[in-house]
């Protein structure tokens, strides 16, 4: 069963708690939270204090995606704020093993994110150490980016290295793009614009359309 994670980057930040509760009631599997530092990507988003403030709104998984240059500075604060899963980018300089261990030491799930143009080979040596891979199908930084279909070809490549690894696809996910991701082996989908389109009155309809596209309905 492919899991669905609404991306809160597409939510109404003025009513974030209510947004979370609406999606929770609709039965989604967890929430994806994009953290950007204005350096690794040219945008700034949410910090630990925001995560902490919305954590009481749901018991569902908080999947925190660190698009930051120095994850070592962010891992502890976000875990303390309520993150259940943390991913950061394989494109970062240096050995990522200490960062992976930093998350694991807190008994949290750890993943590596892979930008559309990055080779799977850059990731391969880390696969035995991590719980999931976040395959980016848009260039990271802003919601609503252009879907990069060829990035989906990385799914079978990754599974060839490690058939048991969970692969989450993030970016441009809609009822049109989801079936191919699921067919190739995605365990989860992060969806923003397609789920939040039209506001709260359309959330259930949008979710049903995506669930049908993944074969869950």
Tell me which of 12, 29, 34, 72 is the catalytic residue.
Answer: 34
Q: Among 101, 95, 98, 46, which residue's Cα sits nearest to residue 68?
A: 46
Give the pLDDT score at 188: 99
Q: Among 139, 151, 150, 147, which residue's Cα sits nearest to residue 175?
A: 147
Tell me which of 95, 166, 170, 201 is the catalytic residue.
Answer: 170
Contacts of 180 by beta carbon, 8 Å cutoff, 6+ apart: 149, 152
Give the pLDDT score at 144: 62
Give the pLDDT score at 39: 76
DSSP string, 167-207: EEEESS--TTTHHHHHHHT-SEEEESHHHHTT-GGGHHHHH
- Residue pointed to by tokens 């990385």: 154
Pure H helices in 27-96: 48-54, 75-81
Per-residue confidence in pLDDT tens, the chain, 217 aa: 999 999 999 999 999 999 999 999 999 999 999 998 777 787 778 999 999 999 999 999 999 999 999 999 999 999 999 999 999 999 999 999 999 999 999 999 999 999 999 999 999 999 999 999 999 999 886 666 789 999 999 999 999 999 999 999 999 999 999 999 999 999 999 999 999 999 999 999 999 999 999 999 8
CATH number, domain with residue 36: 3.20.20.70
Instruction: Report the interhelical angle of 16-26 vs 203-214 (nearest 10°).
Output: 50
Q: Which range marks the domain in which residue 193 is found? A: 3-214
User: Which region, left, alpha or beta, applies to residue 172 given φ > 0 means left and ψ of -120 to 50 means alpha?
Assistant: left
Give the pLDDT score at 130: 99
Count how many domains the chain has: 1
Are the beta carbons of 100 and 130 closer than 8 angstroms? yes
Give the pLDDT score at 143: 63
CB atoms within 10 A of CB 203: 20
Give the pLDDT score at 125: 97
The answer to whether 34 is a known catalytic residue is yes
Are the beta carbons of 111 and 87 closer than 8 angstroms? yes
The answer to whether 84 is a known catalytic residue is no
């Amino acid at each position: 069963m492919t899991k669905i994670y609404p991306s809160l980057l597409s939510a109404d930040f003025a009513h974030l708690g209510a947004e979370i509760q609406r999606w929770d009631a609709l039965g989604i599997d967890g929430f994806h939270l994009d953290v950007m530092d204005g350096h690794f990507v040219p945008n700034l988003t949410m910090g630990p204090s925001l995560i902490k403030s919305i954590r009481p709104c749901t018991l569902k998984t908080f999947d925190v995606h660190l698009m930051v240059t120095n994850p070592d500075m962010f891992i502890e604060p976000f875990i303390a704020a309520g993150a259940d899963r943390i991913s950061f980018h394989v494109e970062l300089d240096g050995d990522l093993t200490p960062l992976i261990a930093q998350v694991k030491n807190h008994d949290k799930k750890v993943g590596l994110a892979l930008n559309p143009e990055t080779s799977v080979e850059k990731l391969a040596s880390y696969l035995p150490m991590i719980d999931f891979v976040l395959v980016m199908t848009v260039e990271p930084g802003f919601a609503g980016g252009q879907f990069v279909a060829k990035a989906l070809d990385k799914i079978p490549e990754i599974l060839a290295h490690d058939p048991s690894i969970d692969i989450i696809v993030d970016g441009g996910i809609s009822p049109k793009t989801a079936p191919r991701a699921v067919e190739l082996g995605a365990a989860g989908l992060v969806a923003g614009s397609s789920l939040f389109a039209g506001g709260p009155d359309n959330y259930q309809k949008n979710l049903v359309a995506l669930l049908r596209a993944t074969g869950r309905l």
